[in-house]
Amino acid sequence: MLIPIPLHDEFYKGHVGRIQTLNSLPDYQRTNYDIRNLARSKGAPREGEPTIVSLARLCQIPLEEYLQFNTLLPYHSFYQHKKSHVSDMRWSTGTISRCGTLPCRSAYYCEQCVRGDLRRHGFSYWRRIHQLPGMMWCLKHRSPLREYTAAFPFDVLPDKVINRFGKSAQQGSSPLAVRRFLEISALLLEQRKLITESDFKLRLNKLARSVNLRVSQRGSRLLPSDVAMKVFPSDWLVSVFPRIRGKQYAEYFPAIDAVTRVSSWNSATAGFIIVLSILFDRADDAIAWLFDDSPARISLPLQSIE
Ligand SMILES: [Zn+2]
């Protein structure tokens, strides 16, 4: 069985799909099964090792490196819940086993990236960065991404679908606020530091209040979600937060507004990034503030939005 080393930013599911193609295996499940079997024959524990762990082992890449560069974990789990949680691994075993098991019916690619990869590598691959929530444009080429939908979309390599499938949801280049959102998302993927949830929520809460944004459920001040509805195109915002479609002005929208509440839990990363991208003018300023405790360089004229 051929197991190619993943490329930098090659999406985990796409890596499995490439192994499937290279070995002419019938489907995704069979490929997963064969990967785990091969790892066991090479000394992996007999029971219950997730495919992703087996795959990193077979590629002789430290698991944490594989997770860092080939999965969306650095995005979805960029913080830890408690300071007391000290572990050798950045992510818990449970988080790692769930990684890559969620069903996914859409895969995104950039035509120019695919053609470039064919020239450079002789094959194409699914880029992890293009699978981030809200990523409807390629940050490198500034062109709209195309969406390929199937039961197991990563089963085939992107150059095989490029001329036949793939609708593009957007036209033209990305609006400024969306671009900032996408840049912050992309920078999060590259972060290796772990921050504590309560710490950065407290800081975000203070920052939001310093520009007169409402951080509680009741009140008269402008909510972060109200600002989001003004600065982001509504079709894009709805694609990331489908429930925002019915939101009224001044109505509390937890997926975005609760990210400044220390007591809330399970806030999605996209909600945090929305708030960061309305507070900061530049993506690298937001990331520096978040991870390095740099002073907040914000200059948002919120009054003009009200
Ligand atoms: Zn591209």
Q: How far is the CA of 306 from the centre of ligand 1 (A)?
A: 36
Q: How far is the CA of 65 from the centre of ligand 1 (A)?
A: 24
Q: Taking residues 95-119, what's their average pLDDT?
A: 88
Full domain range(s) for residue 37: 12-98
The pLDDT assigned to 166 comes to 57
> Is residue 257 within 8 Å of residue 209, measured between CB atoms?
no
> Phi and psi dihedrals of 146, rounded to 5?
-110, 150
User: Are 279 and 255 in the same domain?
Assistant: yes
Q: How far is the CA of 277 from the centre of ligand 1 (A)?
A: 22
The pLDDT assigned to 287 comes to 94
User: Are 245 and 146 in the same domain?
Assistant: no
User: Are 80 and 118 in the same domain?
Assistant: no
User: Are 180 and 298 in the same domain?
Assistant: yes
Q: Does residue 6 form part of some domain?
A: no
pLDDT digits (tens, 9 = 90+) for 214-269: 999 999 999 999 999 999 999 999 999 999 999 999 999 999 999 888 766 556 89
Q: How far is the CA of 227 from the centre of ligand 1 (A)?
A: 30
Q: CA dist 260 to 101, 127, 263, Å? A: 29, 31, 9
Which among 98, 126, 149 is the end of a domain?
A: 98
Which among 70, 98, 126 is the end of a domain?
A: 98
The pLDDT assigned to 193 comes to 84
User: Are 251 and 270 in the same domain?
Assistant: yes
Q: Does residue 16 form part of some domain?
A: yes
Q: Does residue 114 form part of some domain?
A: yes
pTM comes to 0.91
pLDDT digits (tens, 9 = 90+) for 40-85: 998 878 777 899 999 999 999 999 999 999 999 999 888 877 655 5
Comparing 194 with 227, which gets the higher pLDDT? 227
Q: How far is the CA of 291 from the centre of ligand 1 (A)?
A: 28
pLDDT digits (tens, 9 = 90+) for 126-172: 999 999 999 999 999 998 999 999 989 999 999 998 866 656 656 66
Q: Taking residues 104-123, what's their average pLDDT?
A: 94
Q: How far is the CA of 197 from the centre of ligand 1 (A)?
A: 33
User: Are 210 and 139 in the same domain?
Assistant: no
User: Are 190 and 237 in the same domain?
Assistant: yes
* Structural domain count, the chain: 3
Measure the CA–CA gap between 7 and 124, rounded to whole angstroms. 10
Q: CA dist 1 to 10, 34, 123, 202, 283, Å? A: 20, 9, 19, 50, 43
Which among 53, 71, 98 is the end of a domain?
A: 98
Q: Does residue 169 form part of some domain?
A: no
